[in-house]
Amino acid sequence: MSEDPYKVLGVGRDATDAEIKRVYRKLARQYHPDRNPGDKAAEERFKSIQSSYDAIGTKDARRKYDESKRMEDFFNSNPNQRNTRFSGFDIPDIFSQMFGGPQNNSQRVNRRQQRDAYRGSDITSGIDMDYSDADTGCKIEFDHRRLRTCAKCEGSSFGSTRSCMLCDGRGVISRTSTIIVKIPPKSKHGQKIRMRGLGHDHPKGESGDLILTIRVDAKEGRRWEDGRLIQSVKIPYSTLMLGGKCNIRTPSGDSVRIDVKAGTQIGDRRRIPKMSYGGADLDIEFALEDSTNLTESQKDVLERLRKEGL
């Protein structure tokens, strides 16, 4: 797809799968054709939202999209690689075999030196969890797909004229397994865990690494933005314009009363020290409170405001 699904849904690339699902449901309700009859713009927006969610809405779809995006970025910066003989392989094959080290069979390089020169590509992925699990530490099962050296030819068909019915001459085959990932206590959102040797195998060298990024669920009304936690706080229009106070519930569960300055605009932010996960600072973003069921008195007041030009 041409549009960036992360941008269409308005989520960061470090968003958890749960956060993506919550945002999708909210946007889908907002722009659904049944709620916007005859509105072509809303219909097109809804289609874009749906296709974006199809691209990254599940773990498997998101992994495939992220891998293909990394490949696209590589090709954009390395145009001479576009006609590689590995075109047509799936994305992990390309990463392992194209970028897994030099392919020089020089007689001057002995077998061990040659093996040390090759390395399978690393695998990057995200692993989602609640803050409580990240804070106390835990063990999580992770479905892991990677390229393993072919058991039939032991990788010898790679880069040679030999054929192998099992791996079709690639020297590696795709395998899926379940691994246990140990999350250390006091882990932070965005923290990386490197698991040595669990990347793609290279048929002539060592394996790459698996690099997992911890993604802490921001929960309803919050989102991650460049590693910072943003919490949306809905304020009545009168409080935004005239100023006042509002109560917020922090990620730690505390209730905090904060001042709202007169003339606050939708999207303005305030930083509250040590109120985010793990004692980090929390960014408050002001939003307009939904007012769908107005009383007759409220409608009269709004009508007078409209006559006054507000």
CATH number of the domain encompassing residue 267: 2.60.260.20
Rounded to two decimals, what is the model's pTM?
A: 0.74
Residues 210 and 131 grouped into a single domain: yes
Cβ-based burial of 56 (10 A; exposed 0-12, middle 13-18, buried ≥19): buried
Higher pLDDT, 302 or 74: 302
- Whether the per-residue pLDDT at 114 is higher than 60: the answer is no
Cβ-based burial of 262 (10 A; exposed 0-12, middle 13-18, buried ≥19): exposed
Q: What is the mean pLDDT of the chain?
A: 83
Residues 196 and 238 grouped into a single domain: no
Residues 184 and 241 grouped into a single domain: no
Decide if 221 is inside a domain.
Answer: no
Decide if 16 is inside a domain.
Answer: yes
CATH number of the domain encompassing residue 38: 1.10.287.110
- Whether the per-residue pLDDT at 298 is higher than 50: the answer is yes
Q: Tell me which of 196, 216, 236 is where a domain ends.
A: 216
How many domains does the chain fold into?
3
- Token pair 């865990």: residue: 193
Higher pLDDT, 67 or 49: 49
Residues 211 and 237 grouped into a single domain: no
Residues 200 and 159 grouped into a single domain: yes
Q: Are 56 and 79 in contact (CB under 8 A)?
A: no
pLDDT bucket at 128, cuts 50 / 70 / 90: very high
Query: Which pLDDT score is estimated for 301?
Result: 87
How confident is the model over 80-103, as a mean pLDDT? 41
- Three-state secondary-structure class, residue 272: strand
Decide if 203 is inside a domain.
Answer: yes
Q: Are 194 and 211 in contact (CB under 8 A)?
A: yes
How confident is the model over 99-120, as a mean pLDDT? 53
How confident is the model over 49-68, as a mean pLDDT? 90
Query: Which pLDDT score is estimated for 110?
Result: 55
Residues 134 and 204 grouped into a single domain: yes
Q: What is the pLDDT of residues 180-199, one digit of tens each?
A: 999 999 999 999 999 999 99
pLDDT bucket at 225, cuts 50 / 70 / 90: confident
Query: Which pLDDT score is estimated for 120?
Result: 87
Residues 240 and 285 grouped into a single domain: yes
Residues 157 and 279 grouped into a single domain: no
Decide if 310 is inside a domain.
Answer: no
H or E stretch covering 232: strand 228-235
Q: What is the pLDDT of residues 241-256, one digit of tens each?
A: 999 999 999 988 889 9
Residues 191 and 114 grouped into a single domain: yes
Residues 146 and 185 grouped into a single domain: yes
- The residue segments making up the domain with residue 144 are 85-216
